[in-house]
Amino acid sequence: MARRPHNKPANPAPVAAPALDFGPLPGYFGYHLRMAQLADYADFAREVAPDGVSPGRFSLLTLLAHNPGITQSALSQAVGLDKSTLTPALEQLVRKGVVLRRKAASDRRSYALSLSPKGHALLKRLTAGVERHEANIIALLSPKEQKLFLALLKRLTQGMKARGV
C-alpha cells in the first residue's frame, strides 16, 4: 500500500484567487455587452450542442429559409458581414449539403441561395434549441424589462449603423 509523504496534507486547502482590479471596465457599456454576449453564446451552444451551429450560422439558415433565392450580396447586407467573411461560411454550409447555391436567373454573375431539404430539417432542430435559449434569457427579465432591453439594443444597433460602424 502506497503511503502519502508526510509533508503533504491529505486535503490541501483551496487557494483563493487574488482579487482583480477591473479598473474602469465595470463602467463601460461595451465591456458588459461583451460579457453578456459571452454568456449568451455559451447558453446558445448548450441548447443547440448536438448540431454545433453558431448563432451566426443559425441567422444565415433562418434568413435563407425565409428568403429563398436571396443573393449572396443581399444576405451579406442583412447579416452585416462583408462578402469575404460570408463566403467561407456559405461554402461550409454548401459542403455540408444544407445550402444550395445556383446561378441567379436575373444576373448570371450572382448566386441564388436557398436551403436544401437537409437544411430545412437542420433549421427545424436548431429552432427548438434556440427557443429554449430565448426562454432562458427572457426568464431573467420581467416582461417590461424585456421590451425595454430589446428597444435599447435596437437603438444602439441602429445608432452605430448610422455612424458607419
Structural domains of the chain ordered from first start: 51-133 (1.10.10.10)
Structural contact between residues 104 and 71, judged by C-beta atoms closer than 8 angstroms: yes
Query: Whole-model pTM above 0.85?
Result: no
Over residues 67-104, the pLDDT tens digits come to: 999 999 899 999 988 888 999 999 999 999 999 999 87
Q: What is the pLDDT of residue 152?
A: 96
pLDDT for 9 beyond 60: no
User: What letter does residue 18 receive in the DSSP assignment?
Assistant: P
pLDDT band at 115 (very low <50, low <70, confident <90, very high): very high
The SS3 assignment for 100 reads: strand
